[in-house]
């Protein structure tokens, strides 16, 4: 399972909450727990290694995570996606957390399935961003062409005409671009399948109905 390779840092000081997290998350992710802001701050400062996601409680024994976020030097040190989990229901607090970069805000008590679903949603989004940002301009144009094609099925000639327009290229050039694209996007459950009749079909197991906005890039790499 891919999620076993993904790491979470949990910022939580209550033993009962940590117990719940361990029951829910340790089977699915590589987890590390911090019971104080000082330990968390020290870990960030002393090690360049970062997790895929941080799950943070707001109130801890030695401070408040909001104060941590308010310190822009420390927030810059963080530079890691995070979600907030709290029993505090306050519109201003929610708004502030999102303004400071929180990707979600989960209110206690929560269901096990809700926590895992929110974490996986953020992790999958981050993975897509990383993959799309690593596409070349031609790879991006090929992928967009599939999304815009009828039934997401296109022939070699259609792809070359759409991506290269009036420029003549040899088959090897096209094959290299298509091969590299297929190898990259398989990480995010996108597959370009050969149909055996000179055409290919894009299979999106994420069930996306339109091209991701992240594909709107212009500069070649």
Residuewise pLDDT in 10s, the chain (221 residues): 344 478 999 999 999 999 999 999 998 899 999 999 999 988 888 877 889 999 999 999 898 988 888 786 776 677 789 999 999 999 999 999 999 889 999 999 989 899 999 999 898 888 888 899 899 999 999 999 999 999 999 999 999 999 999 899 998 999 999 999 999 999 888 999 999 888 999 998 876 666 666 566 544 44
* Other beta carbons within 10 Å of 137: 13
Q: What's the pLDDT tens digit per position in 205-214? A: 876 666 666 5
CA of residue 80 relative to chain centroid, distance:
11
How far is 141 from 163, CA to CA, in rounded Å? 6
Q: What is the pLDDT of residue 208?
A: 62
Q: What is the pLDDT of residue 214?
A: 57
Q: What is the pLDDT of residue 71?
A: 80
Residues 6 or more apart whose CB falls under 8 angstroms from that of 154 comprise: 145, 146, 162, 199, 200
How much of the chain is helix, strand and coil, in % rounded to 5? 50, 20, 30
- Topology classification of domain 2-132: Rossmann fold (3.40.50)
In the chain, DSSP assigns E strands to 7-11, 30-34, 53-57, 59-60, 63-64, 82-86, 105-107, 153-155, 190-194, 199-204
Q: What is the pLDDT of residue 147?
A: 92
Contact yes or no for 100/69 (Cβ under 8 A): yes
How far is 216 from 31, CA to CA, in rounded Å? 34
Q: What is the pLDDT of residue 49?
A: 84
Contact yes or no for 83/111 (Cβ under 8 A): no
Q: What is the pLDDT of residue 213?
A: 62
Residues in the chain: 221
Contact yes or no for 162/145 (Cβ under 8 A): yes
Q: What is the pLDDT of residue 83?
A: 95
Q: What's the pLDDT tens digit per position in 147-171? A: 999 999 999 999 999 999 989 999 8
Q: Report residue 29 as tokens.
A: 């992710």
Domain borders along the chain are 2-132, 134-215
Residues 6 or more apart whose CB falls under 8 angstroms from that of 144 comprise: 211, 215
Q: What is the pLDDT of residue 159?
A: 96
Does domain 134-215 bear CATH number 3.30.720.200? Answer: no
């Amino acid at each position: 399972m891919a999620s076993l390779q993904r790491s979470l840092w949990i910022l939580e000081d209550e033993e009962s909450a940590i117990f719940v997290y361990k029951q829910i998350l340790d089977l699915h992710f590589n987890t590390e727990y911090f019971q104080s802001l000082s330990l968390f701050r020290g870990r960030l400062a002393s090690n360049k290694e970062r997790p895929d996601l941080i799950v943070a409680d707001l109130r801890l024994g030695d401070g408040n995570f909001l104060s941590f976020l308010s310190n822009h030097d420390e927030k810059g040190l963080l530079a890691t996606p995070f979600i907030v989990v709290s029993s505090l229901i306050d519109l201003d607090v929610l708004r502030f957390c999102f303004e400071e970069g929180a990707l979600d805000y989960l209110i206690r008590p929560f269901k096990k399935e809700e926590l895992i679903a929110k974490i996986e949603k953020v992790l999958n989004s981050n993975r897509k961003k990383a993959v799309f940002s690593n596409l070349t301009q031609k790879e991006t144009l090929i992928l967009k062409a599939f999304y815009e094609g009828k039934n997401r099925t296109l022939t070699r000639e259609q792809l070359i005409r759409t991506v290269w327009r009036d420029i003549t290229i040899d088959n090897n050039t096209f094959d290299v671009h298509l091969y590299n694209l297929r190898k990259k996007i398989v990480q995010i459950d996108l597959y370009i399948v050969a149909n055996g009749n000179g055409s290919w079909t894009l299979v999106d197991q994420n069930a996306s109905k339109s091209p991701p906005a992240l594909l709107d890039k212009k500069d070649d790499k």
